[in-house]
Chains A and B, each alone.
Chain A
Amino acid sequence: MNGSVIALPNEQALVLRATDEPEAFAIIYDHYFPRVYNFVRYRVRDPVTTDDITAQVFERALAGLERYRPKRGPLAAWLFGIARHAVNDHLRAQKRHRWLSLDLLRNKASAGPQPEQIVVRSEMREELLDAIARLSDRERELIALKFGARLTNRQIAELTGLSAGNVGVILFRAVRRLRTRLIEACPRDYGEREQGHE
């Protein structure tokens, strides 16, 4: 992913035009789609659900574009505020759909350990997602906002209500924890260079 362009050139003018010019909205969409998608993907893992939530984010953004006020902050912060709510809504809503028969578990136990390993570790990004999945909700959200949405710590702080300093500390510790998880999962790939930095 190209990291050289964080905000669009003349973004504010583009947003004003986008309220009635489809072409202007298309430019915003093309620019932000990967970032929104990656943000959601870091939080929910499932590509199909990621697509659903990403679509919701852009639909809400399109419907609410007239209410966006550039004076209150950059478009990215506004857009990822919508994305954050959409993901949180999804995480809350899905909890009502989870069912499991305990008898099924008992049967599983009697059948012994399951041979199949559901998490596929063959690709680097799957390993990353797997390791991220083991972080706490807060750490996952900050990782998603930082590296998926590519926001600054200050923007993340405004969205989450944390201080920018706290965001930095949580992110640093989360990446360290992530590294530890990856070493545990793939010692040959990640463990050889392990040294302390104190």
Chain B
Amino acid sequence: MSEHEWVERFTIDVDRLVKAGTVADSAEGTSAEYSELLRLAQALSSTDFSDQSQIQPVLRRRLLDMRQGWHPQERIPMLASFRKLRLALVLPTVMLVSLLIAGLTWPGGLTAAAQDVIDFVQRLWVGEHTSIEPIDLEQIEWNVEPSKAACSTQVQNCTPEPGKCKIVRLDDRLLSGNGVSRHFDSIAEAQAAISFTLRQPAALPEGYTFSQANVWGLGDLATTDLLYSGPDSHIMLSQSPVSGQRDQGVAIGLPGVTAIATVQVNGHTATWAEHTLIWEADGISYLLTGSNLGQEDALHIAESIE
């Protein structure tokens, strides 16, 4: 059978099992692998996670309370015309009131908001999806949701040392999927855990060997960090697949960095700052860093990636 025929059969069988809850004898006369696929489809279809929900009854009560307090048939006719114009009326009103409240309760708020816009505009783009932006470490904790304990802990640990610049990754992908990270002892294992092809440097400074791979996040949002240990420090090569919209790319925060140089990696524009090389090539956003990494070594490593 061709793949097209398998797909047609699979579609019919899966629809049947989603409706009936069982595969019955659908796989009869097929291969063992096809039977396995149907069993897996049945497991996917019948596995119910909703018993893990902590809110089902509470949400039900809340929604019903909301519904009980709302009687659409009792609305007066004037409300109908208001509904048509409500966007035009409500939006400017909400904006004005918000500005007023913000100005009164937080005098510096409007200035700060304007600064945020300026910061956004001041982003330095490296390729289509990778950006570098100035970061105020003091503000990081403001931005992290209190419930994200893992993130908060990490943020607290990255207080800048006086007179030293550190790089904090405001990386869209890191710690996504509820902070799930996976650690692997081999590149092959890490490769099996992600959906894009990992690239590796053919050239490393003397004495450096692969030590660990960390995969952060899920699926297309996974970022993979390959760590190489050397005699007295480490080098990390981070790879994040990027595509689609710009705001779904990788943003890298550089707190207090004053010197940023533009260089080339195999014809792609790259940025060098604080022992870190950032560039984007062939749908992958790369970050190469190391506490003792120099620009010449970084470029040599980057250009050897295959």
* Interface residue A79 (Cβ < 8 Å from any Cβ of B): no
The closest CB in chain A to the CB of B178 belongs to A46
Return A48 CB to nearest CB of chain B, in Å. 7
Chain B interface size, under 10 / 10 to 19 / 20 to 34 / 35 or more: 35 or more
Provide the residues of chain A in CB contact with B195, threshold 8 Å.
134-136
B68 within 8 A of A: yes
B125 at the interface (CB under 8 A from A): no
Q: Which residues of A contact B63 (CB under 8 A)?
A: 25, 29, 58-59, 62
Instruction: Report chain A residues within 8 Å CB of B45.
Output: 1, 3, 146-147, 150
Does A195 lie within 8 Å of B37, measured CB to CB?
no
Answer whether residue A137 sits at the interface, using C-beta atoms and an 8 A cutoff.
yes
Interface string of B160-185 (1 = CB under 8 A from A): 00000011111111111110111101
Does B32 sit within 8 A of A, measured CB to CB?
yes
Residue of A98, A109, A196 near B170 (CB, 8 A) is: A98
Indicate whether A105 reaches chain B with its CB closer than 8 angstroms.
yes
Q: Shortest Cβ distance from A38 into chain B, in angstroms?
A: 5
- Assess the A100–B168 pair: CB atoms within 8 A: yes
B248 touches A92 (CB 8 A): yes
Question: For chain A, what secondary structure do more than half of its interface residues adopt (helix, strand, loop), or is it mixed?
Answer: helix
Chain A nearest CB: distance from B91 CB in Å? 17
Task: Name B6-58 residues within 8 Å CB distance of A.
Answer: 6-8, 10-11, 14-15, 17-22, 30-37, 40-41, 43-50, 52-56
CB distance B176 to A94 under 8 Å? yes
- Give residues of chain B (99-143) contacting chain A, Cβ–Cβ below 8 Å: 140, 143
Q: Are A99 and B144 in touch, CB under 8 angstroms?
A: yes
- A174-198 CB contacts (< 8 Å) to partner B: 175-176, 178-179, 181-182, 184, 190, 193-198
Q: Does A168 lie within 8 Å of B11, measured CB to CB?
A: yes
**B154 CB-CB contact with A under 8 Å:** yes
- Interface range on chain A (Cβ under 8 Å from partner): 35 or more
User: B289 on the interface (CB 8 Å rule)?
Assistant: yes
Is there contact, CB below 8 Å, between B178 and A38? Answer: no
Looking at B197-205, B220-228, B265-273, B295-303, the stretch in contact with chain A turns out to be B220-228
Are A98 and B219 touching (Cβ within 8 A)? no
Measured CB to CB, the nearest residue on chain A to B66 is A62
Residues facing B in A99-132 (CB within 8 A) are: 99-106, 108-110, 112-114, 117-119, 124-125, 128
Q: By the criterion CB–CB under 8 Å, are A25 and B55 in contact?
A: no
Q: Counting CB contacts under 8 A, is B86 at the interface? A: no
Determine if B304 is an interface residue (Cβ-Cβ < 8 Å).
no
Interface flags, A15-26, vs B, CB<8A=1, else 0:
000111010011
A80 within 8 A of B: no
Whether the pair B181, A118 counts as a contact (CB closer than 8 A) is yes
Residues of A within 8 A of B10 (CB): 168, 171-172, 175
Chain A residues within 8 Å of B177, by CB? 44-46, 133
Q: Is the CB of A169 within 8 A of B7?
A: yes
Are A109 and B66 also in contact (CB < 8 A) when A98-B171, A104-B158 are? no
A66 within 8 A of B: yes
Name the interface residues of A5-51: CB closer than 8 Å to any CB of B: 6, 18-20, 22, 25-26, 29-30, 33-34, 37-38, 41, 44-51
A41: which B residues are within 8 A, CB to CB? 49, 52
B-binding residues in A (CB < 8 A): 1-4, 6, 18-20, 22, 25-26, 29-30, 33-34, 37-38, 41, 44-51, 54-55, 58-59, 62, 66, 91-92, 94-106, 108-110, 112-114, 117-119, 124-125, 128, 133-140, 143, 146-147, 150, 152-153, 165, 168-169, 171-172, 175-176, 178-179, 181-182, 184, 190, 193-198
23 A-B interface contacts by CB (under 8 A): A1-B45, A3-B46, A20-B71, A25-B64, A29-B60, A34-B48, A54-B55, A95-B176, A99-B158, A100-B171, A100-B174, A110-B234, A112-B212, A113-B212, A133-B177, A134-B192, A147-B45, A150-B18, A171-B14, A175-B40, A175-B41, A193-B35, A194-B33
